[in-house]
Structure 1
Amino acid sequence: MSGSEGYATGNGGPSRSAVVAPVKVLCLGPPRAGASSIQAALGMLGYHETYYFPSSINDRSRDTQAWLDAFDAVFEGKGTFKKGDFDRLFAGCQAVVGRPCCAFAPQLIKAYPEAKVILNTRDVDEWYMSWIRFIKTRMAREQEQGEVNLEPEDEQKVAAKMLRSKILYAFFQDDFIKTGKAAFKAHFNEICQLVPKDKLLIYDIKDGWDPLCEFLGKSVPSEPFPGHDALEVFEDKSPSQVNGTAGELKSLHHAVVAVPQEAGVEA
């Protein structure tokens, strides 16, 4: 998932204003590895402007389309998405956390070489099973809603669904059961290879404040570390985004319900 097509380090076209994002921290672990806890922790450590897409979708109305453009450029070779485009997305932000940013780890590491990189991770089997539980729950809910919700969807909701699908495809290529664990390990290894050891923290949120604060050169807060979101929800938090219709995740892996025993999950 390290597509490099369409990426360049130059700024965007002359019709766009020049912006340089002051990105100091990149948190690039895979989805469902504690991003929301880390986003909250970074805020408590003084990184008050943090780009975390699930919490910024309401006040960054153009971001969904920009990320769709980024996926088209990097993974499908359609157009270009340059450092200047990332700068505009992250304008004013000191830290970048979670999805869809984590799908662009090589591009962001190249764009912000001075940034410290947090590779948030967790036990691969625990991570894998959390995805299985989530997919089963989400598919059941969407099937139920799809049977009763016949109203057309607005453009924002359609675009958000397209973005989620592209994130999932970038990591798992439509077959989570077969590719999930390998994708997790490949993402981990790629980041370890790209980032110098002195700029990289391999981090599990269960480890709390100490390793994170030492890495960032911050004092340990007196407050507890933000909640361990081990089952971090992979959906947008805005009310307009919550009620999806059936079918969105079926392309990810149709066999989650059909053959759950293969994944070690009871039907």
Structure 2
Amino acid sequence: MYSTLNPKEANWDKLYQDYDAAIDWPTVNFYQELLQHYPHAKVILTVRSADSWYESIKNTIHKNALLRETWKDPDRPNHAYYRMVNYALMDGHIYDAKKFQNEELVKKMYLDHIEQVKTNVPADQLLVMELGGDSWQKLCEFLDHKVPNIPYPKTNSTK
């Protein structure tokens, strides 16, 4: 089911068969392939400062990845999945303690990704949302949906 290191062989329809949308990793790593396969898809790019993003990753995904280094064991049942996740999480920079210590490089990778998305996604299919700073109005207008009668979420906590 997973095409760990070759997204050109991925069966996107099978992977996303029960979904109308996808968020976060590993999907974001394959946005270009997904846009080729689903050329009318809308893309929402959520951005924040590189410092805030790095601290969040450091205290969540990176920390948890180090705790379960058993993913490297090829005899584990989900080894292919974990290889794909490691690849998709910034070419191994999130799962590798030594690579992750190069904070400036990891932050640059994050900022480069943002710029690549802005460059590669057609403007009429892209919405850039500032984490904690935007509103339902902007999002719902982009998605052509009614604004819900609940407060817009304004937190993203490592808790």
Q: TM-score range by the shorter chain?
A: 0.7 to 0.9
Mapping 1:67-106, distance limit 5 Å: 67=2, 69=3, 71-74=4-7, 80-81=8-9, 85-106=11-32
Instruction: State how far apart, in whole Å, the 2-side matches of 1:162 and 1:169 are.
Output: 12
Task: Choose which of 210, 213, 223 in structure 1 pairs with 2:137.
Answer: 210
Contact residue 26 and residue 89 of structure 2 kept, 8 A: no
Instruction: State how far apart, in whole Å, the 2-side matches of 1:133 and 1:105 are.
Output: 25
Mapping 1:44-123, distance limit 5 Å: 66-67=1-2, 69=3, 71-74=4-7, 80-81=8-9, 85-123=11-49
> Judging changes above 3 Å, is the alpha-carbon distance between structure 1 residues 135 and 215 closer, same or farther for their aligned structure 2 residues?
closer
Instruction: State how far apart, in whole Å, the 2-side matches of 1:169 and 1:194 are.
Output: 18
Q: Match of 1:133, as an amino acid?
A: N
Tell me which residue corresponds to 1:161: 82
C-alpha offsets along residues 209-231 of structure 1, whole Å, 9 cap, x if unaligned?
12111111111101233573343
Q: How many matched pairs?
A: 149
Q: Match of 1:167, as an amino acid?
A: A
Instruction: State how far apart, in whole Å, the 2-side matches of 1:221 and 1:196 are.
Output: 27
Divergent runs of 4+, >4 A: none
Q: Check if 1:128 corresponds to 2:128.
A: no
C-alpha offsets along residues 96-152 of structure 1, whole Å, 9 cap, x if unaligned?
222111111211122211111111121111111222333674377x28x99xxxxxx
> Judging changes above 3 Å, is the alpha-carbon distance between structure 1 residues 171 and 103 closer, same or farther for their aligned structure 2 residues?
farther
Give me the CA root mean square deviation: 3.0
Instruction: State how far apart, in whole Å, the 1-side matches of 2:58 and 2:5 are.
Output: 28
Q: Check if 1:219 corresponds to 2:146.
A: yes
5+ long unaligned stretches in structure 1: 1-65, 75-79, 147-152, 233-267
Task: Choose which of 181, 189, 202 in structure 1 pairs with 2:107.
Answer: 181
- Identity %, equivalent residues: 28
Contact residue 93 and residue 106 of structure 2 kept, 8 A: yes
Instruction: State how far apart, in whole Å, the 2-side matches of 1:162 and 1:120 are.
Output: 25
Contact residue 109 and residue 194 of structure 1 kept, 8 A: no
5+ long unaligned stretches in structure 2: none
Which structure's CA Rg is the greater one? 1
Instruction: State how far apart, in whole Å, the 1-side matches of 2:128 and 2:150 are.
Output: 23
Instruction: State how far apart, in whole Å, the 2-side matches of 1:227 and 1:154 are.
Output: 39
TM-score normalised to the size of structure 2? 0.75
Instruction: State how far apart, in whole Å, the 2-side matches of 1:101 and 1:192 are.
Output: 16
